């Protein structure tokens, strides 16, 4: 079962890297990323949704692409980061 995306009104249980979706511009949509929760704020500040799976930065990015509601990144497709 896939974990559910949570909104930023729900706070992570501890500081760390989390699979996230961020929004650069409302007209462009949201994009998978790794978001860092320091216990008070998100970095980057434009995190919209996150999954409660704390890990390292690279694993959080990969997991965000896997769980992307717009579809997972195809294997072999170059990453955009």
Residues 6+ apart with CB under 8 A from 17: 34, 35, 36, 54, 55, 56, 57, 59, 60
pLDDT of residue 35: 95
Nearest residue to 29 via CA among 45, 9, 49: 49
Q: Would you say residue 76 has pLDDT above 70?
A: no
Pick from 2-11, 21-30, 37-46: least confident: 21-30
* pLDDT tens readout for residues 23-38: 877 777 789 999 999 9
pLDDT of residue 73: 59
- The model carries a pTM of 0.82
């Amino acid at each position: 079962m896939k974990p559910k995306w949570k909104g930023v009104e729900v706070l992570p249980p501890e500081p760390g890297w989390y699979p996230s979706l961020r929004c650069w511009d409302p007209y462009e949509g949201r994009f998978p990323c790794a978001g860092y929760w320091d216990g008070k704020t998100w970095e980057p500040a434009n995190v919209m949704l996150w999954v409660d799976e704390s890990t390292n930065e690279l694993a959080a990015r990969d997991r965000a692409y896997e769980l992307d509601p717009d579809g997972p990144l195809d294997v072999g497709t170059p990453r955009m980061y």
